[in-house]
Structure 1
């Protein structure tokens, strides 16, 4: 279990986490997924996409670009955290770097029927990358202290406010 460390009165999990075995497992998983995806997109994925109907090929191209972007954001975050663990960067520098490369939302995802027509290998890579991104977002929230504030917020009210904003209500 990670021991929280106190910096200027705030609980910081960052320093302890980035030096943990759990982080190294996450790092290897993330970087392995980047390599696996690159190999797929340059190999089997290229052949699979060429055999798709035009409308599905367009979805394939869009989703492979989203996947690549998501993985580059993940890799950037992981590399910054590893730099902190190895003493090459301070936690403050890491926060500044992470602010430059924000993880995008999973919003704007294609309809289920569009995804269902994509090759299974691509769908598996997409799903794995989204799960990994959500884990990293959760960790980032904990490491920055935002996770604690979120836990104290009312999730039902947050969802209602989000829904109202999307529907243009409550202005």
Structure 2
């Protein structure tokens, strides 16, 4: 994975609830956050594998998985929106009414059994991933309501 991504298409007609600029910013934010998360996990992989699996390490693993799940789901939806933007699929294909992001309890729950065991850098990534996830989930709900109307 590189740190660069293809630019969002500008100049084509865009039939949706979203303006191109805010969507592009959200996509850029998601991509940047995904790269930051990858770098964080790569740097901390070896230290987490050494030794016993204490409660602190298990808490850290759960937090990492929750952050990763949020980022994957948000980025998947944003890529689906880009596919709609490019005319590759329709909105009905981009939104699965039976599997909306707001239905994923593990991703929507904000709290974590932290007890001070989560590194500040991971806590920051988790908070930003939560914010991005909830924003994309709201966008998905808007499109889902429009598609089912």
TM-score, normalised via structure 1 length: 0.64
Q: Distance in 1 between matches of 2:110 and 2:29?
A: 25
Counterparts of 1:1-171 in structure 2 under 5 Å?
15-17=16-18, 20-43=20-43, 45-46=44-45, 49=48, 54-96=54-96, 99-100=98-99, 102-103=101-102, 104-105=104-105, 106-107=108-109, 109-111=111-113, 113-114=114-115, 116-145=116-145
Q: Distance in 1 between matches of 2:29 and 2:139?
A: 15
State the 4+ residue runs in structure 1 displaced beyond 3 angstroms.
47-53, 98-103
Give the direction of change, closer, same or farther, for the CA distance of 1:130–1:91 in structure 2 (3 Å limit): same
Q: Is the 8 A contact 1:80 1:94 kept in 2?
A: yes
Q: Deviations over 1:136-171 (max 9, x none)?
A: 12222223337xxxxxxxxxxxxxxxxxxxxxxxxx
Q: Which runs of 5+ in 1 are unaligned?
A: 1-12, 147-171
Provide the aligned C-alpha RMSD in A: 2.7
Q: Is the 8 A contact 1:73 1:101 kept in 2?
A: no
User: How far off is 1:15 after superposition?
Assistant: 1.8
Give the direction of change, closer, same or farther, for the CA distance of 1:138–1:101 in structure 2 (3 Å limit): closer
Q: Is the 8 A contact 1:56 1:117 kept in 2?
A: yes
Q: How many residues align?
A: 129
Q: Distance in 2 between matches of 1:48 and 1:122?
A: 14
TM-score, normalised via structure 2 length: 0.73
Partner SS state of residue 112, structure 2:
coil
Q: Is the 8 A contact 1:67 1:126 kept in 2?
A: yes
User: How far off is 1:126 after superposition?
Assistant: 0.3
